[in-house]
Amino acid sequence: MNHSAKFWNKIAEGYSQEPIADEAAYQKKLQVTQEYFKPEMEVLEFGCGTGGTAIIHAPYVKHIRAIDFSEEMIKIAQGKAEAQNINNVTFEQLTIEELTVASETFDVVLGLGILHLLENKKEVIAKVYKMLKPGGVFVTSTACLGDTMKWFKVIAWMGRFLRLIPLVKVFTSKELENILSDAGFTIDYHWQPNKSIRKGVFTLKGVFIVAKKAE
């Protein structure tokens, strides 16, 4: 098990009990996402954490496959789904890199609060594009620290070297948009809340993007 997985396993219980830092922004993201949903849709969420968002979206689609590399996060998510009698969400301990599916499998892919925690976001975004059906959408909420906190690169490297924090990548929202465009996506919706969001032990300002695959 790598250091990042151990980190998120350790904080999973506390993370699951954290209140949403900006409830209004969260509700807006849910609403915008649900406008893209249809009852027959197959959805993937990677980096699903403790499953709260997948469970909220469950009534709007046919099925959600929700994955996370943290065993403890997945245990909590499964417990939530069982407690709420949610039967159309499948939670699995799995990374997006390990996931193997056929091309054009999903109608929607969700990657919320996760791209800045990946070593290889460019490759992952390209993989997401292949997994989506024509006209499918990739919904992402991402902390783009390069817009306001470029200096965090040094702290992130040192913190990871000392095994105090997990992997955190620093890049700008423009860099993210360019990667999405290079993969073949067009930006269908772009929004940045005024208030910072909280992700685990980090308080970050995120950009919310819905990127669409060509028909």
73: domain range? 3-212
Q: Is the pLDDT of residue 120 over 50?
A: yes
Of 56, 80, 78, the C-alpha closest to 67 is 78
The mean pLDDT of 188-206, rounded to a whole number, is 65
Higher-pLDDT residue of 24 and 108 is 108
Instruction: Enumerate the β-bridge partners of residue 90.
Output: 65
**What ranges in 84-195 are assigned the alpha helix state H?**
121-131, 152-161, 173-183
Distance CA 143, CA 20 (A): 15
The DSSP result for 81-95, as a single string, is: HHHTT--SEEEEE--
pLDDT of residue 166: 58
Please report how the helices 173-183 and 121-131 are oriented relative to each other, as an axis angle in degrees rounded to 10: 40
At residue 12 the predicted structure's pLDDT band, cuts being 50, 70 and 90, is low
Radius of gyration, alpha carbons of the chain: 16
CATH of the domain at 77: 3.40.50.150
Instruction: Check residues 13 and 90 and name the one with the higher pLDDT.
Output: 90
Considering only 77-81, 109-113, 154-158, which range has the smallest mean pLDDT? 154-158
Cα 186 versus chain centre, distance: 19
Number of domains in the chain: 1
Highest-scoring range by mean pLDDT, 24-28, 86-90, 153-157: 86-90
Q: Angle 148-149-150 (CA atoms, 0-180°, nearest 5)?
A: 110
